[in-house]
Amino acid sequence: MGPLIGLLIVLVIILAVLSSCVKIVPQANAVIVERLGAYLATWSVGLHVKMPFIDRVAKRVILKEQVVDFPPQPVITKDNVTMKIDTVVFFQITDPKLYTYGVENPIMAIENLTATTLRNIIGDLELDQTLTSRETINTKMRSALDVATDPWGIKVNRVELKNIIPPAAIQDAMEKQMKAERERRESILRAEGEKRSTILVAEGKKQSAILDAEADKESAILRAEAEKEKRIREAEGQAEAIIKIQQATADGIRFIKEAGADDAVLQLKSLEAFAKAADGQATKIIIPSEIQGLAGLVRSVAEVAREE
């Protein structure tokens, strides 16, 4: 019984040792393997087996892009203004071997390198340039860090200035300046609005006056045309009346002539026509001599008739 238990213990130990020698590396990871303390290989994704007791896993490395947020660092601008700036660095491990053996603490090394690079860049800029040149500062820092971290197997993909914190006095001055600027813009906008309103009112009055003048002109034209039309119609009516009178007179004379009337009757009718033409409007009528003689004859006949 005792030897059997001992055999089982040995088998368990062997299985444990063998299982520890089999390693599976997941996606986006790498494993640094050492043999007797020296670098042996870099395992990538898949199943791997190492020699027991002489091989060991020295480091597991993540190959995905990583983000490190560093605390605010005090920096001094060219015009001697002290402020605090915190940065965010996006980096990726490109060479696991260099990352393992290139620097003792890569994250701390990147933080210190970021702080010194930031101080060098901000030292050449004034306060206003620092506040308005974020993109320029980011580009310069990324370029400098990428070159410095390349021997460590690290690639810096992006650097961002997260916050720029100026001194309290500078913040108060900036807030007052912004408030004054907003008030100035508000005053300008209000003045422009009033100016625009005055212009619109003046243009409205001008257009109203123009429309009134055009309306008066059109009204006068319409009145003149109406008066003209009235006079034309009156003249046409008078002309038509005269034409009808003359036509009636001519028709009467024609009927008398067709009836066989002599010259005395025709002259008498002409006298009546003259009397109608005068119609009491003329103060003097010139009558031909023939009609005068005929009128005297008529008067004599009328007197003889009364005597009888």
Give the model's pLDDT for residue 186.
85
Could you count the other beta carbons within 10 Å of the beta carbon of residue 72?
14
CATH topology of domain 66-166: Tetrahydropterin Synthase; Chain A (3.30.479)
Give the model's pLDDT for residue 141.
92
Nearest to 59 by CA among 45, 42, 47: 42
Nearest to 157 by CA among 73, 239, 93: 93
Q: How far is CA 247 from the centre of its chain?
A: 81
Q: Which amino acid is at 273?
A: A
Give the model's pLDDT for residue 61.
92
174 three-state secondary structure: helix
pLDDT (tens place) for every residue of the chain, 308 residues total: 567 777 777 777 777 777 778 888 899 999 999 998 899 999 999 888 888 888 888 899 999 999 999 989 888 888 888 888 989 999 999 999 999 998 888 999 999 999 999 999 998 888 888 888 888 999 999 999 999 999 999 999 999 998 888 877 777 777 777 778 888 888 888 888 888 888 988 888 888 888 888 888 888 888 888 888 888 888 888 888 888 877 877 776 676 666 655 555 555 555 565 555 555 454 455 555 554 554 454 454 445 445 54
The kind and range of the H/E element at 269 are: helix 263-278
* Main-chain dihedrals φ then ψ at residue 84, nearest 5 degrees: -115, 135
Distance from C-alpha of 231 to C-alpha of 264, rounded to nearest angstrom: 41
Give the model's pLDDT for residue 305.
43
List the domain boundaries for the chain.
17-62, 66-166, 263-308
Vertex 105, ends 103 and 110: CA angle to 5°? Answer: 85
pTM (global) more than 0.85: no
Could you count the other beta carbons within 10 Å of the beta carbon of residue 106?
19
